[in-house]
Amino acid sequence: MSGKEIYEEFIKWLRKAPLGIPESEHLRPLIKSYYTPEEAEFLTGIPFSLKSLEELSHIKGMDPAELGPKLKELSKKGMIYQSIRGESAKYRLGDFLFVFFRASGWHGQDIEPIKSTAPFINKYFDTYFEQFRHMKKRGLRSIPIDKTIEHPTEVLPFEDVVKIVDDREYYSVSACPCRHRYHLDPDWEDCNHPSEVCLHFDDLGRYCVENGLGREITRDETLEILKKAADSGLVHGITNWEEKPDTI
């Protein structure tokens, strides 16, 4: 297949993810900027649900000894999500939202391919999130910071921030991917708020640290980062799960 055909097949596969990918004039330049043709061809057909190395070896028709390092390499770019439980590891394809609006910017470094890709992500941003404007349940929700403020709007979270942090087994922090890609885009002004404030817990936290997308921290450091972010005027947003949210 030609490079164009490879990318088109990859885009068709990405559309099978639960969140899909809306059409846009910026879609193909974005895909081509971040994925090489070889990566796009390899990733096409990898499931969006977690599979063992042996299962993926069968799907891709590759020897596990050859496939394992390949998956590890792509995990560092957020293209593959790796979940390690004890001695076993499972993998899934990183969907469009996970790759471009989260994992690709967590490392906070001025490096390729995110450096070249950031302007395309920013241009595509409004197109992508237009599909969620009328959803009743959003991906993130706000949480309080144990301070009283005068405002007519109520925020009714599932739990407060301290309980969320106390309930974790593993803590990590990454750069804010949104803020990072704005820093890399000459068409956007730099944000003066702290950048290393994206907190991840347990399985996702281990993934970030294991793949150089964040660093391990303690519970006390987590609380310090939350306070620093709040003092700078940032609002805490948490993944909108009733149990075990993995991100603040």
Taking 90 as the threshold, does the pLDDT of residue 136 lie above it? no
Transcribe 222-237 into DSSP letters: HHHHHHHHHHTT---E
Three-class secondary structure of residue 50 per DSSP: coil
What pLDDT is attached to residue 125?
84
Average pLDDT of the chain is: 87
Name 103's Cβ contacts closer than 8 Å, sequence gap at least 6: 77, 78, 81, 94, 177, 213
Tell me if 222 sits within 8 A of 171, measured CB to CB: yes
Question: In the numeric block, which tokens belong to residue 235?
Answer: 């609002």
Mean pLDDT of the region 130-157: 54
Name 63's Cβ contacts closer than 8 Å, sequence gap at least 6: 57
What pLDDT is attached to residue 146?
63
pLDDT digits (tens, 9 = 90+) for 201-223: 999 999 999 999 999 999 999 99
What pLDDT is attached to residue 145?
57
182-219 burial, b at 16+ Cβ within 10 Å, e below that, comes to bbbbeeeeeeeeebbbbbbbbbbbbbbbbbebbeebee
Q: Count CB-CB contacts under 10 A for residue 177.
A: 24
Taking 50 as the threshold, does the pLDDT of residue 153 lie above it? no
All domains in the chain, ordered by first residue: 3-123 (1.10.10), 139-239 (no CATH)
Tell me if 15 sits within 8 A of 21, measured CB to CB: yes
pLDDT digits (tens, 9 = 90+) for 65-98: 999 999 999 999 999 999 987 778 999 999 998 9
Taking 70 as the threshold, does the pLDDT of residue 179 lie above it? yes
Any idea which of 60-64, 82-86, 111-115, 137-141 has the lowest mean pLDDT? 137-141
Query: How many angstroms separate the CA atoms of 9 and 39, rounded?
Result: 12
What pLDDT is attached to residue 158?
41
Query: How many angstroms separate the CA atoms of 75 and 113, rounded?
Result: 14
Bigger pLDDT: 186 vs 131: 186
